[in-house]
Structure 1
Amino acid sequence: MSAIKETKFKFPGQQGFYRGKVRDVYIFENTLAIVASDRISAFDVVLPRAIPHKGQVLNQIAAKFLQATSDIVPNWVASTPHPQVTMGKKCEPFKVEMVIRGYLAGHAAREYKAGKRTICGVSLPDGLKENDRLPTPIITPTTKASEGHDEDISKEEILDQGIVSAEDYAILEKYTQALFERGTQIAKQMGLILVDTKYEFGKYGKEILLIDEIHTPDSSRYFYAGGYEGLQEAGLPQKQLSKEFVRQWLIKHGFQGKDGQEVPEMPDDFVLEVSERYIELFEKITGEKFQKAPTESLEKDIEKAILAHI
């Protein structure tokens, strides 16, 4: 059950450090070294237990799909010197996340069920059921919070507040739609449906690059294509590959990230189940057998890999 909860390295030439919900980011003059830890977050809260092999799953899926979409949009990656490390260009991130949805699921479904018919300025028709396919994919951006919760925001608010220029936002929209289309095609080949996902972008000089991770279980939701129609017609939950099952476990145990709620601690058997679900997604979405990286000296191996590439 060995897992990396956090790292505290000090590297020569290091200019800064940032700890996100999942990633530890080491900042150099023009380069970032990002460690995908085994932390897991839900409802914008980092949970107490780390998940074995989760960081490796995220890092390797992201590396595969960043490469598979590099003809659509250039990205920040220079190398992946360790299964849990990615190194690349230090970009200035846009302060929005580009969330795109092809189906009414997750947060959007909860908002719809509460009676909302407009999400992030996008109107939705009446009569939809949870997990129904939307007439066309919709972009529902969120603010990129440095702390606390990301918040829904509309395109109009983003432009009015000057968070992103109109010229840049048009490019972000175009890239988001093209990436989702490519992700949908790849998922279909593997017998999956890419339900919704998010993309993050940044600027390196004047160039817009795709940053962070893409098409991972932390940033995306997948349904199994086989049986989708039958389950929808019967009004039954979809079989899905995402961390939604973790959110549902937390909800069942009285936690949705709201003030005053205490985070329940996952027992060993559930931690192991979460790990196995992440590995299942890796194998299902990539079509490759997951090779567990050695964990005996995981922290030292990660430090050594970064030192060799800075």
Structure 2
Amino acid sequence: MSNTIIKTDFNFPSQTSVYKGKVRDVYTLKDNKLIIVATDRLSAFDVVMPKGIPYKGQILNQIATKMMEATSDLVPNWLEATPDPNVAAGQACEPFKVEMVIRGYLAGHAAREYKGGKRMLCGVEMPNGLNENDKFPEPIITPATKAEQGDHDEDISKAEILKQGIVSKEDYEVLEKYTWDLFQRGSEIAAKRGLILVDTKYEFGKTADGKIVLIDEIHTPDSSRYFYADGYQERQDNGESQKQLSKEFVRQWLIENDFQGKEGQILPEMSDDYINSVSERYIELYEKITGEAFVKSDINNIQQRIEENVLDYLK
């Protein structure tokens, strides 16, 4: 597993700052330019796993790039170039402090809340009588915001966002419209590939001239959940688990091994075989969602490759 990139320490020309996220490292340059490196880090329950997943960064970066290109007619985005398989470059924005989560089905976090007896999620009512992975009558937007302490996402309602002034009413209406439009397009793309886009999240920012744009990644296995459409209803009718392509299978593996990121819990050991199986699942999703064969980039020296490609781009 040595041929993965789990940390970076670049010093690009005209670099002004670096921010290390859970998965991406963001390098800010002068003139409001960003270089974002998608690493092979894997996070679940807001905890970064100690080992990287081969090709994960490349997969996330390339899916996000393709999806931004496929939605740019609906929503403007920050992306300008992809100088390396693991790198995206574009304009710096002031991010909104909310993530726009949209759910078409009762799955993941929503299902866990529902199972616990809750029928209200982020100020939105969930109907009674649903089984896990059932389709909602209409998709619901359930925003999340970062906690003041730590890096955990917290559920929040639209009313509370507006009350606290986290986002203005005018801007929030734009975020809502963009979220609906992106989810509709993402669902259409998924359907063409025999997949169901179950739920996803979008992040937005404002450019220096006040334009709201899509940032971060979209429709990747880290930000989205997909089911296979074939056999979906049969599995629901039989009370079976859905066949899915998302990071949820990692969360389920961690839950089975008594880990949900809570205090005092010990992170289970990920064997090389398990890590390779995760990599294969990510490649499978790439090929399913894009309809293209995944081409593995040269990973003999990822750091050097990235640095050379970015320097060439900046020239």
CA distance in 1, matches of 2:59, 2:20: 19
Amino acid at match of 2:185: R
Secondary structure of residue in 2 paired with 1:151: strand
1:193 and 2:193 are equivalent in the alignment:
no
Aligned residue type for 1:97: E
**Which of 48, 59, 75 is the equivalent residue of 1:73?**
75
Aligned residue in 1 for 2:44: 42
What secondary structure, in the 3-state scheme, does the structure 2 residue paired with 1:134 have?
Answer: strand
Aligned counterparts, 1:16-27, within 5 A = 16-27=17-28
1:262-281 pair list within 5 angstroms: 262-281=266-285
Residues 77 and 89 in structure 1, CA contact (< 8 A), matched pair in contact too = yes
Whether 1:148 aligns to 2:151 is yes
1:225 is displaced (CA, Å) by 0.2
Q: CA deviation at 1:259?
A: 1.3
- What amino acid maps onto 1:257 in structure 2? G
Q: Does 1:5 align with 2:16?
A: no
In structure 2, distance between residues paired with 1:5 and 1:73: 31
1:241-256 matched pairs, under 5 angstroms? 241-256=245-260
CA distance in 2, matches of 1:17, 1:257: 26
Matched residue SS, 1:280? helix
Partners of 2:279 and 2:221 in 1: CA distance? 12
Q: 2:66 aligns with which of 64, 67, 70?
A: 64
1:207-229 CA distance string (max 9 Å, x none): 00000000000000000000000
Secondary structure in structure 1 of the residue aligned to 2:15:
coil
Counterpart-to-counterpart distance in 2, 1:154 and 1:259? 27
- Counterpart amino acid of residue 51 in structure 1: I
Q: CA deviation at 1:145?
A: 4.8
CA distance in 2 between counterparts of 1:306 and 1:294 reads: 16
Aligned-partner Cα distance in 2 for 1:207–1:145: 26
2:98 to 96, 99, 105: 96
1:168 aligns with 2:171: yes
Whole-angstrom distance in 2 between the partners of 1:309 and 1:95: 30
Match of 2:34 in 1: 32
Residue 286 of structure 2 is matched in structure 1 by: 282
Q: In the alignment, which residue of structure 2 is the partner of 1:126?
A: 128
Instruction: Provide Cα deviations, 1:41-79, integer angstroms capped at 9, x if missing partner.
Output: 000111111000000000000000000000001000010
Shift of 1:307: 1.6
TM-score (norm 1): 0.99
Helix, strand or coil for the counterpart of 1:309?
A: helix
Partner Cα distance (1:245, 1:73) in 2: 30
- Tell me by how many angstroms 1:285 deviates: 0.5
d(CA) in 2 for partners of 1:129, 1:160: 33
> Which residue of 2 is the match for residue 83 of structure 1?
85
Report the aligned-residue RMSD: 0.9
Tell me which of 180, 194, 200 is aligned to 2:183. Answer: 180
Q: Output the CA distance in 2 between the equivalents of 1:31 and 1:145.
A: 27
Shift of 1:261: 1.2
* Structure 2: distance between partners of 1:189 and 1:119: 30
User: 1:265, CA displacement in angstroms?
Assistant: 2.3
CA spacing shift, 1:145–1:18, aligned 2, 3 Å: farther
Q: Measure, in 1, the Cα distance between the counterparts of 2:120 and 2:309.
A: 47
Residue among 290, 296, 307 paired with 1:292: 296
Q: How many residues align?
A: 310
Give per-residue Cα distances to partners, 1:209-265, cap 9 Å, x unaligned.
000000000000000000000000000000000011100111111100111112122
In 2, distance between residues paired with 1:173 and 1:232? Answer: 30
Tell me the distance in 2 between the aligned counterparts of 1:128 and 1:186. Answer: 26
For residues 253-290 of structure 1, the C-alpha deviation after alignment (integer angstroms, 9 at most, x for no partner) is 11001111121221110000000000000000000000
- Aligned AA (2:195): L
Q: Is the 8 A contact 1:47 1:265 kept in 2?
A: no
Secondary structure at 1:110 match in 2: helix
Deviation at 1:309? 2.4
